[in-house]
Amino acid sequence: MNATPVPSAVQFHQLHKRFAEQPLFQGLDLALPPQRITAVVGASGCGKSTLLQLINGLLRPDAGEVRVFGQPLDYGDLPRLRRRIGYAVQRIGLFPHLTVRDNIAILAEREGWPRPRLRARIEQLLRMMDLAPALLGRYPHEISGGQAQRVGLCRAMMLEPPLLLLDEAFSAVDPITRAEVHARFQALQHAEPRTVVLVTHDVAEAMRLADHLVVMAPGQILQTGTPQSIRTRPADERVARLLETGA
């Protein structure tokens, strides 16, 4: 008897996307497993960030379909979708006029979370990201770049979203802190498994964190599978080179 197939958390079906008449994706098919960390790697400009923005509806396909947890994206109700999708992007900063605490809490406050629940979740996230509670009263310009990036991660995880999209979310953190944050992130993932899609330039980070790897070339998927299986059997020279050199 066949086991029931596990439904994908994210699915791209025959997706087409072009920018200024320049085609990027031309019939992309891709399925990402639920409750796993998927890392997306590939050379600069191959479409990694675009892929993430197609998942949370920031970008719309020209043709084809994106499904999240089995449902086609409802572009008429993106706020509802985004409550279920955390998004942390290196280049999108924190709100400069809000304290660290308010930056982290803003979405939960909008949802009407009671104060004790709010406080407990913030404390948990700070611990996980190795951030001192004393930072909560500061403004973004009063903390370091690496701290700001971790605060951005806390904000993205505040509502305990079942799907978390991370675009270079660990890259501004120094190597020692990064190893620490990776470990804490993995511990949280173990405790509260969620679907994570992590775009990263750092192949070592992808190999360390991911359960599932997507290797891209411009506009196309070269290979998907476990990091181990791809390392052992790269589909072609381009995959092998990327894993070897990160380029």
Residue 80: partners with Cβ closer than 8 Å, 6 or more residues away: 74
Looking at beta carbons only, is 99 or 220 nearer to ligand ATP?
A: 220
Choose which of 28, 38, 41, 50 interacts with ligand ATP (CB under 6 A).
50
Looking at beta carbons only, is 22 or 71 nearer to ligand ATP?
A: 22
Q: In one letter, which amino acid is 216?
A: M
- Strands (E) across 121-242 are located at 163-167, 195-199, 212-217, 220-225
Instruction: Confirm or reject binding of residue 24 to ligand ATP (CB under 6 A).
Output: yes
Instruction: Confirm or reject binding of residue 165 to ligand ATP (CB under 6 A).
Output: no
- Shortest distance (Å) from residue 224 CB to ligand ATP: 16
Residue 120: partners with Cβ closer than 8 Å, 6 or more residues away: none
8 A C-beta contact, residue 12 and residue 66: yes
8 A C-beta contact, residue 208 and residue 39: no
- Tell me which DSSP letter residue 3 carries: P
Region from 2-10, 19-27, 63-71, 228-236 binding ligand ATP, contact rule CB under 6 A? 19-27
- Shortest distance (Å) from residue 21 CB to ligand ATP: 10
Region from 39-47, 66-74, 124-132, 233-241 binding ligand ATP, contact rule CB under 6 A? 39-47
Instruction: Confirm or reject binding of residue 38 to ligand ATP (CB under 6 A).
Output: no
- Strands (E) across 20-117 are located at 22-32, 37-42, 63-68, 71-72, 85-89
Looking at beta carbons only, is 45 or 137 nearer to ligand ATP?
A: 45
State whether residue 112 is helix, strand or coil: coil
Question: Which x/- pattern over 59-78 shows residues binding ligand ATP (rule: CB under 6 A)?
Answer: --------------------
Residue 187: partners with Cβ closer than 8 Å, 6 or more residues away: 128
Instruction: Confirm or reject binding of residue 49 to ligand ATP (CB under 6 A).
Output: yes
Instruction: Confirm or reject binding of residue 47 to ligand ATP (CB under 6 A).
Output: yes
Instruction: Confirm or reject binding of residue 57 to ligand ATP (CB under 6 A).
Output: no
Region from 5-13, 17-25, 71-79, 180-188 binding ligand ATP, contact rule CB under 6 A? 17-25
Looking at beta carbons only, is 32 or 105 nearer to ligand ATP?
A: 32
Cα–Cα dist 161/85, whole Å: 5
Residues that bind ligand ATP (rule: CB under 6 A) add up to a total of: 12
Contacting ligand ATP within 143-162 (CB under 6 A): none
Provide the Cα torsion 235, 237, 239, 242; round to 10°: 170
Cα–Cα dist 102/206, whole Å: 31
Instruction: Confirm or reject binding of residue 200 to ligand ATP (CB under 6 A).
Output: no
8 A C-beta contact, residue 78 and residue 58: no
- Per CB under 6 A, residues contacting ligand ATP are 19-20, 24, 42, 44-50, 201
